[in-house]
Structure 1
Amino acid sequence: MRKPVRLPISQGDMLLRWHKQVQQLNEAVPVQYYTTTRRGRPVQIPWQPKEISANVKATGERLIKDYVTYCEALFIKAGKAAFLDPAGNPQLPPLFTNSVKIGERRSLSDRQARDHVRKLQKVGLVSFYKWHGSRSDYEIRINEQVLFGPKQAEFWELVGIAQLHVDSVVSQTEIPQFAQSSTELSSAYQVTVTYRDKETETYKRGNVHSDKQHTRLMSEHSDNYSDTERPQQRQLTESQSQPSDSAGNGDKGPGGARAVENAVENPNGAGARLKARLTGTQRPRPSMSEQKRLEMREGYVRSFWAYARQVLYTARRWSEQEERVILRSILFGVYGNFQSPLTDREWDGFQDKLFKRVDLVAAYYQRHPDKWIPEPYAQVKSGTGFFDWENLRGFRATAGWIDENYRHYRQSYVSQRVSLAVRNLHRHRVGRAPKQLQLKTYIEAYRFLENQIARYGEAALKRFHELAAGIGVDLRPNQPM
């Protein structure tokens, strides 16, 4: 039985090179000074701005890890063909991803993730970026200088040698390898890892690790994201799903297309599973076992309480028995003992809403410092804890806050769109409308804007008609001749 051939790369060395590059860029920024008054005298205080923030740096680390995992999985499945361009020259395969996926893995919004990718492209970490539309994944490649440093030629040589020995019975020791990863160098800094459940890192409130398992995973440069599946299995599954998404969009990319063409025809061959995944003929994924599901639900409850304790009860401490009572109160009062028939993806969305509700509660008590935060569990009378379902004025009452905030946001957004449409009609009459709108006649521009506003409902369309009817009408009183 042949052993799978792995890429001779060191993730720790890659992260170390990225860390040093960030450090050099930040140190190159000139020191700025701001003036303040102390004891009646102006004092200048130095301030060192950063070219790359800690949040952007963590996103870069996340992309490096995902890219390395994807390349290793693709090399095992498809071999050398995935690392060649159409002309036969060495070229790293592109990683298909999107801002929503990056934001979920980094606890960011898709807009923040987009800004981070642009920043990483500007500083040179992302060396290749190809856009495929707003409804498709885009392609990225990580800079080879960051990945391999001065050993780029050695890497490509090792990739070629490893591929030549795949079909022959050659021991792994006969294939040249890189030097051992320098643990003493990688321990000089701590890689920033954030989790999807926001349990371990909130930049505004410090960095507190409350789970031993997550601390262990951070030291191993792996991720769990509140999922109790094995970290390496989770990474391999997500990285292998990238070509499938791109195939559904009609663009497999250079690596994915060649992998299908060069897949082994043998049903048990090295490229058969990748070919089945790219062509949509793979076997259905087995359902999660009941034990795994229970562990995942426990992770939801514990991560929610860890975040709520960090945000709402910063200075409080509880005994182990009190912690168990609080977790039980959250299990039944917040999650309803997981009786709702939701999918795993829907539970993830529900978890995100819970974190937002906790943020709204924290903002409420910051605006009202004279009010006190209730205890998380009932101490005197049953059902009076903040997270108890029976407490109608507790955390349960915040369920409608998000919907109310979205309703206000929607009203404000629609009002802005109506005002902008009417303003463009005013500008059209004086020849100052946007170029594409100015090329139309006034009636065509009116119908065009009317169709746009009609998407926001009857009330918005009625308001648009009322405001547009007064354009060009002189409302001033008649002046005597």
Structure 2
Amino acid sequence: MLQRIETSEVMKRATVFFDEHNDKCPTVEVKRKLKDSEQIINRRVGLIPEAVTTTFHTILTEYVHSYNRTCSIMPEGMYTMEDLPAMHTNCVRLAKYCRCTDRTVRNHIGRLRALGMIETKFHGNKKAFELWISPKFLFEQGASGEAGSPQKPPKTAFSPEDSKIFPHNSTHREILGKEKGNADMLIKYGESIQGQKGRADGPVMALNDWVEQQGQSQTGGAARREKSEIVAENDRNRRAKATDMLERWREGWAPGMPKGLEPRFRDMLMNFWLYAWKVVYPHREFSKEKQELAIVAIAAGVFKNFTDVRSEKEWLDFYQLQMDKLDKAGRYYDNHPDAYRPDPYAVHIPGKGYFDWENTKGFVGIEAWIKKDSIRHFRQREAYADKQAEKVKRCEALLRTARRDFEKLRQDMKPRKEVDGKNQIALFQHYNVIFAGQGKKWQEAFCNQYLAQQAVDFEPPKYLKPKRQRQMADRTPATVVVVEDWMTYGEGFYSE
């Protein structure tokens, strides 16, 4: 039966501990440099600030609430005084109650942990953690006389020297994570990994050693293999399988084929089965009778007994599509070595073979998978094309802006705010850095444009000048012609 926690008594014991700790803190001399002299100040180091005590009081309030709630919902005997329930929390949640930042709470928790007042165990990404308060502060166990030395705190229930073989319980079950972060083991009701309760009579295997032993037992005594090793082994098995089948073929051993097939269809069917055997079933052996059953299933489920009307080119394209589907299935099983590989033909239930057309989760379903991938790739290509078109539009606009900035600089016109105060070299460096970030193609386009402008002394082309400037440039000076009256009479010289 767990004892009741009295918050006021806990704070009294904690206050005594803080006071005794502060009284034992040493005093050091600190020199402060003044304008004409030095001043020596005696300063005590290692004091526990009031903010840490406030954080401890907040943590205590939350822990008592979690403690009472856990005791009310857990079965009797689930926890003992040596194995107290923990509070599952994080620094962000505590920061709301402490009226400070989560970083400050994290620092205060580290200080309280160093003082031996609390203990934490992090989970996963170290944002959420379990927290225990030392029983010497929760319950009256002579803590006031022994708590003065934080360097050697008394042994508690969560001390590393404790010989328990299972961690503290915080909830009804606890998931232990591996190094990569995924969870694969479950502990219920205080049981250890080995299914033991409480303390063990003999030597206890470490948790990491037990996990390694399980990995070795699952892989036949070898160490846990990486995915690349599995893929390499499958490739070696496929090569050996292909060599063995080729030798058998030369010896005249081959399964029977359906009757009435054209030679090209027989070749397609046999090549498909041999490749499927090598790619999908590299670790299996099939007798001659089982191969014949697989060939019949492939002929009916994959090629529909070759009853479709297709040209020779269309049959070759269809055959190539089925071989691509086999490649996709082989890659899937390489990446998922634990996935179940059904038999190529139906064994007990009709239509459940891997190559049966009724089995939508088998080889037939790969076509929908390929179509889904093609749609995704098409959308990705469209998104990439749109992104490239947007980049071209943006870079062309940048080229026009750069051209106008150089022309304004040459004509001593008011520049834009972004390039105000830059001379020609600084302006070139400014745009060169911008276009370098867009790629070599656009950087070369900018440099070519700059050289072309420099060749004409940054004079804007006629078709790029404003309309009024073009009209003024096209206006030719008037020619004055002195004529007499008889020259304009009737059809004279200037009758127009």
Same fold (TM over 0.5): no
Q: Which has the higher contact order (CA 8 A, sep 6+)?
A: 1
**Higher Rg:** 2
**TM, length-normalised to structure 2:** 0.30
**TM, length-normalised to structure 1:** 0.31
